[in-house]
Structure 1
Amino acid sequence: MLSSAPADPSLIDSRQAAWRLLVTLGLVVLGNSSMYVVAVVLPTVQAEFGIGRAEAAMPYTLMMVCLGLGGIWTGRLADRHGLMPVLWVGALAVCGGFVWAGLSGSIWAFGLAHGLLGFIGSSSTFAPLLADTALWWNRRRGIAVAVCASGNYIAGAIWPPIVQHGIETLGWRHTYMLLGLVCGLGVFALSLRMRQRPPLVSGAPASAGAPVFDRSRPFGLRPSHAQFLLCVAGVACCVAMAMPQVHIVAYCSDLGFGAARGAQMLSLMLACGIASRLVFGLICDRIGGIRTLLLGSALQGLALLLFLPFDGLVSLYLISALFGLFQGGIVPTYAIIVREHFAPQDAGSRVGTVIMATLLGMALGGWMSGWVFDMTGSYDAAFVNGIGWNLLNLAVVTWLFLRVRGLEGQPRGQGPLGAGLREVR
């Protein structure tokens, strides 16, 4: 039986919340596998279908666009009907998408299969789960959301080497179909543990002593304006983020190091991203979401700069690890910002919208980097392009941070920026 009533608020920060978080982590690991294995098969698919690098990156782009759009839809469905029925549909899409991709006879069929994987499969196991997790935790909200989001990078650390081994032994088609069965059945089994609706929550802050802002005027702006700026920031940071994540395997192949080395670097990057998300979650609990996002944006830009002068094998391993450590905590921080500044009853749809923007950025960045490579014959210009988008993100986040500083600096109830600001007792 589905539970239509919210859980008792006393379950927030409870042992039940912790068990739910563990199940959520497994769902994210299984449901988001397609986000990273497509980068591993990119060189093989390009060779089999006889296409260019930009065309080979198209399935990833389509998947991420659909994942972003699907996040809004699945977030709204989860707000209305709960998570379990959304996850059931997602399990079918994960299984069907991988099998369809494995049977595809053209790059367009392969791309449409990844669109299904993104729009229903992965979307049901990311943004709605981030929003749900934020509603089950108050005191440790930052680290809880970070643990949930880490499943995305655990998937990135686990699946690429497994899929690379499968490509070498079974072929990419059989590997895809087997992965679909494993992940689809796994999502369905774990979804049975997600019947309970989240508790009704108040506007409690993430940590004691932190200010609570007027939820009707996030950052002192209209909610639609504030969300638009967060979406712009999300697109910009993830265009930059996509360059190494999507193209590191192809980049290593071009440098003569081989696809297997690139898959190892991708796994290392995403494994370090797991640690990054946990650390950034702890930082969020201490300094808040917007400050954490500003820190992550600055560090990601630094890591991208390091790719330009260094392209040796050892240096690429080190920079991949640094990139993972610096950028891993960025995306889940958006969910924390939404929870801190917007009304909690809209958490699913608003988190879904902002996560959609980040995924559109990943989609645009994955395609754009391939297009720049095709135009120039080198990835140097693609890295420069990523750095430029990262600067745009840094500018938007800095402006929002200054708005927060203005809110904190205003006495309670004085001035347009001080309206709604109160002290936590």
Structure 2
Amino acid sequence: MTDSSQSNLIISDSKSAWLRATILFILALIGTVGMWSVVVFIPDIEREFNLDRGTSSLLYAFTMIGFGFGTVVIGKIYDKFGIKKPILLATIVLIACYYLYSIFPFYWQFLTLQFFMGFAASAFFGPAMADISNYFNKQRGFALSIVASANYVAGATWPLLIGYFLKFIDWRTTHFWISICLLIMIPLILLLKNASVDESKFQDTKQRYKDINLNLSNNQIQVLLMLAGICCCVAMAMPQVHMVALCVDNGFGLQVGTEILAVMLYSGMLSRIVFGMISDRIGPVLTLLLGSFLQMVSLTFFLPFSSEISLYVVSLMFGLSQGGIVPAYAIIIRKYLPIKEAGLRVGLVIGATIVGMSLGGWMSGEIFDITSSYYFAFMNGIIWNLFNLIIVLYILYKSDFWHNKKVISVG
């Protein structure tokens, strides 16, 4: 990564580093609207264009495909130019796409726009995590999880806001006003500088856990993490993508659906922060294992419970269980793989998770169309989650974890 000025130095874990994390959190909170807004608009677009659930779910699938491509391409750009240029360009693309959404007449045009909206929104997730990981050492997991949690805060906040405004204006007008709101990002981006870390002034960075040697090559780690990312996010997609539609189908209404989604994602935000702190204590690999297991357990509770109150409770459980999974991938890459390739490598793994999200969202819609029920869609997610758990266990099997008698610290 090239620095704009040799004088722009940030001390690891310092107040300047936390200020950078705060700015990135705010930008991600606003910018990842491009990933989440479509889940609220799907029912309205479905009705207007007379689409079935599988076809309307392509809107989310195209968003995730764009998001996946974006994490790789923008990650590579970040490795070369830093974070400021790619997120400024991404903001301009988001503003243009939301405006065009308000005037385009055909469904295929919306699919194209969703691709570019996902592409642009990706700049505020994977590349932002890769960037902030360079400015923390002792509290890397905590700081990275805070920046990553902005995605969930956005996913909880934007659908609620959009759902409220849809009571008064139509979905096209809502897209126009979102494009206006996004203008606030530009002055925030101008405050952000491409800075380097002053390595001569590292604060005390003694780890609270003993390192695990993975005994795998860089490429093996990369491929295994990408496969794990696909599997976990196929499972994750079912409740996140289809919760609003599920609630509408069950007669609970759009507002209840967005509220339940908000509960899921706000608890996911809290989960990401807590799992970040856990990662700083036990390491990212064990954190990934814990998150994968808890997500699979929480998914099983969607099978017997379908009432309005139970969906609130189970969604809360789901959010609290799985928030730490995706940040753990980024922390593993930052810890075990070359730092100069962090943007690209994080982008590849996040891209794989997005493939999983798009695949899971589409598969769940198709399963619903075939069975007229989300029961088997949840079963499908649980099976994919099991594959993820097997991959993580394989990584541990190949490591020296079983011979390492003091991995976790109690102090």
TM-score, normalised on structure 2?
0.93
**Tell me, what secondary structure is at the counterpart of 2:400?**
helix
Cα 1:70–1:161, aligned 2, differ >3 Å: closer, same or farther?
A: same
Q: Which residue of 2 aligns with 1:417?
A: none
Cα 1:84–1:360, aligned 2, differ >3 Å: closer, same or farther?
A: same
Code of the aligned partner of 2:253: G
Code of the aligned partner of 2:225: L
Q: Which residue of 1 aligns with 2:344?
A: 349
Which stretch of structure 1 is more off in the superposition, 271-280 or 30-39?
Answer: 30-39
Code of the aligned partner of 2:240: Q
Deviation digits for residues 232-256 of structure 1, max 9, x if unmatched? 0000000000000000011111111
Q: Distance in 2 between matches of 1:191 and 1:404?
A: 41
TM alignment of 1:339-378, pairs within 5 A? 339-378=334-373
Task: Measure how far apart 1:328 and its partner are.
Answer: 1.4
Q: Does 1:259 align with 2:254?
A: yes
Code of the aligned partner of 1:164: G
TM alignment of 1:5-404, pairs within 5 A? 5=5, 11-119=11-119, 121-183=120-182, 185-199=183-197, 208=207, 210-212=209-211, 219-404=214-399
Identity rate of aligned residues, in percent? Answer: 38
Equivalent pair of 1:63/1:118 in contact (CA under 8 Å)? yes
Code of the aligned partner of 1:101: Y
TM-score, normalised on structure 1?
0.90
Code of the aligned partner of 1:340: K
Q: Distance in 2 between matches of 1:149 and 1:349?
A: 17
Task: Measure how far apart 1:194 and its partner are.
Answer: 1.9
Q: Distance in 2 between matches of 1:54 and 1:324?
A: 25
Equivalent pair of 1:7/1:200 in contact (CA under 8 Å)? no
Q: Distance in 2 between matches of 1:337 and 1:195?
A: 26
Equivalent pair of 1:301/1:390 in contact (CA under 8 Å)? yes
Cα 1:210–1:246, aligned 2, differ >3 Å: closer, same or farther?
A: same
Code of the aligned partner of 2:372: G
Cα 1:28–1:395, aligned 2, differ >3 Å: closer, same or farther?
A: same
Q: Distance in 2 between matches of 1:408 and 1:115?
A: 46
Equivalent pair of 1:206/1:340 in contact (CA under 8 Å)? no
Task: Measure how far apart 1:8 and its partner are.
Answer: 6.8
Code of the aligned partner of 2:184: G
Task: Measure how far apart 1:98 and its partner are.
Answer: 1.3
Deviation digits for residues 88-140 of structure 1, max 9, x if unmatched? 11111110111122223222111111111111x20211111000011000010
Deviation digits for residues 203-239 of structure 1, max 9, x if unmatched? 999752544577xxxx222211210110000000000
Equivalent pair of 2:271/2:322 in contact (CA under 8 Å)? yes
Task: Measure how far apart 1:369 and its partner are.
Answer: 0.4
Task: Measure how far apart 1:4 and its partner are.
Answer: 2.7
Q: Distance in 1 between matches of 2:204 and 2:326?
A: 20
Q: Distance in 1 between matches of 2:204 and 2:348?
A: 22
Q: Distance in 2 between matches of 1:394 and 1:212?
A: 21
Code of the aligned partner of 1:133: I
Equivalent pair of 1:7/1:199 in contact (CA under 8 Å)? no
Q: Distance in 2 between matches of 1:408 and 1:347?
A: 29
Q: Distance in 1 between matches of 2:323 and 2:124?
A: 18
**Tell me, what secondary structure is at the counterpart of 1:104?**
coil
Q: What RMSD, in angstroms, separates the aligned Cα atoms of the two structures? A: 2.2
Cα 1:64–1:206, aligned 2, differ >3 Å: closer, same or farther?
A: farther
Unaligned runs of 5+ in 1: 411-425
Cα 1:209–1:187, aligned 2, differ >3 Å: closer, same or farther?
A: same
Cα 1:406–1:83, aligned 2, differ >3 Å: closer, same or farther?
A: same
Residues paired across the two proteins, number? 404
Q: Distance in 1 between matches of 2:142 and 2:381?
A: 28
Ranges of 4+ aligned residues in structure 1 off by more than 4 Å: 5-10, 200-207, 211-214
Task: Measure how far apart 1:198 and its partner are.
Answer: 3.4
Deviation digits for residues 156-198 of structure 1, max 9, x if unmatched? 1211111011112111111111112212x13322211222233
Deviation digits for residues 134-159 of structure 1, max 9, x if unmatched? 10000100110010011101101211
Equivalent pair of 1:139/1:206 in contact (CA under 8 Å)? yes
Cα 1:70–1:206, aligned 2, differ >3 Å: closer, same or farther?
A: farther
Equivalent pair of 1:6/1:196 in contact (CA under 8 Å)? no
Equivalent pair of 2:42/2:59 in contact (CA under 8 Å)? no
Cα 1:63–1:408, aligned 2, differ >3 Å: closer, same or farther?
A: farther
Q: Which residue of 2 aligns with 1:418?
A: none
Q: Which residue of 1 aligns with 2:408?
A: none
Q: Distance in 1 between matches of 2:211 and 2:286?
A: 15
Code of the aligned partner of 1:113: L
Code of the aligned partner of 2:366: W
Q: Which residue of 1 aligns with 2:409?
A: none
Q: Distance in 1 between matches of 2:322 and 2:379?
A: 17
**Tell me, what secondary structure is at the counterpart of 2:193?**
coil
Cα 1:208–1:232, aligned 2, differ >3 Å: closer, same or farther?
A: same
Q: Distance in 1 between matches of 2:336 and 2:61?
A: 30
Unaligned runs of 5+ in 2: 406-411
Equivalent pair of 2:32/2:151 in contact (CA under 8 Å)? yes
Q: Distance in 1 between matches of 2:72 and 2:335?
A: 19
